[in-house]
Amino acid sequence: MSTSTPSHPGVVGSGVVAAVDIGGTRIKAALVDRSYGVLAQTTTPTPSDIGADIGSAVAATVKALLGSVPPEQAAHLVGCGVVVPGLVDEAQGVGLYSANLGWRDLDIRAQVESYLHLPAVVGHDVRAGLLAESRLGAAQGHRQVLFMPLGTGIAGALLLDGHVVSGDGWAGELGHVVVDPSGPSCPCGQRGCLEVIASAGAIERIYRAQSHVALSAEDISVRAAAGEDLASSVWGHAVRALGQAIVMTVTLTGVDLVLVGGGLSQSGEVLLTPLRDDVAGRLTFQRPPTIQRAGLGDRAGSLGAACLIWDAL
Interface with its own copies (CB under 8 A), residue from 23, 129, 169, 243: 169
Binder of its own copies out of 130, 177, 196, 306 (CB under 8 A) = 177
Overall residue count recorded for the chain in this entry: 313
282 binds its own copies (CB under 8 A): yes
Q: In the complex, what is the shortest distance from the CB of residue 306 to its own copies, in angstroms, rounded to a whole number?
A: 22
Report the C-alpha gap between 193 and 32 in whole angstroms: 37
Residue 96 lies near its own copies (rule: CB under 8 A) = no
Identify the sign of the CA torsion 301, 305, 310, 311. Answer: positive
> How many residues of this chain bind its own copies (CB under 8 A)?
40
Q: Which residues is 11 bridged to in the sheet? A: none
Least distance between its own copies and beta carbon 164 (Å): 9
Q: Which residues contact 58 (CB under 8 A, 6 or more apart)?
A: 20, 22, 80, 82, 111, 112, 115, 116
Q: Is 46 in the site for its own copies (CB under 8 A)?
A: no
Asked if 173 is part of the footprint of its own copies (rule: CB under 8 A), the reply reads: yes
What's the half-sphere exposure (Cβ side, CA atoms, 13 Å) at 25? 3
Residue 143 interacting with its own copies (CB under 8 A): yes
DSSP string across 85-101: SSEEETTTTEEEEETTT
Beta bridge partners of 260: 148, 293
For residue 76, what are the CA distances in angstroms to 67, 104, 311? 13, 33, 17
- Sorted by sequence, the CB contacts under 8 Å of residue 293 that are 6+ apart come out as 138, 259, 260, 261, 265, 268, 272
- Minimum CB–partner distance for residue 161 and its own copies (Å): 6
Among positions 198-227, residues that touch its own copies (CB under 8 A) are none
- End-to-end Cα distance, the chain: 13
Query: Which helix (H) or strand (E) covers residue 267, if one does?
Result: none
Residue 174 binds its own copies, judged by CB under 8 A? yes
Among 78, 118, 165, 230, binds its own copies (CB under 8 A): 165
Binding mask 237-276 for its own copies (x = CB under 8 A): -------x--xxxxxxxxxx--------------------
Query: Does 178 participate in binding its own copies (rule CB under 8 A)?
Result: yes
What is the distance between the alpha carbons of residues 29 and 116, in angstroms, rounded to a whole number? Answer: 15
Least spacing, CB of residue 143 vs its own copies, in Å: 7
**Does the protein bind its own copies through residue 158 (CB under 8 A)?**
yes
Q: Which of 64, 78, 118, 171 binds its own copies (CB under 8 A)?
A: 171
**Counting contacts by CB under 8 A, is residue 104 touching its own copies?**
no
Does 161 help bind its own copies (rule: CB under 8 A)? yes
Q: Is 167 in the site for its own copies (CB under 8 A)?
A: yes
Question: CB 295 → its own copies: shortest distance, Å?
Answer: 22
Asked if 203 and 235 count as a contact pair (C-beta separation under 8 A), the reply is yes
Task: Write out the residues near its own copies by the rule CB under 8 A.
Answer: 143-144, 156, 158, 160-161, 163, 165-174, 176-178, 181, 188-190, 244, 247-256, 282, 284-287
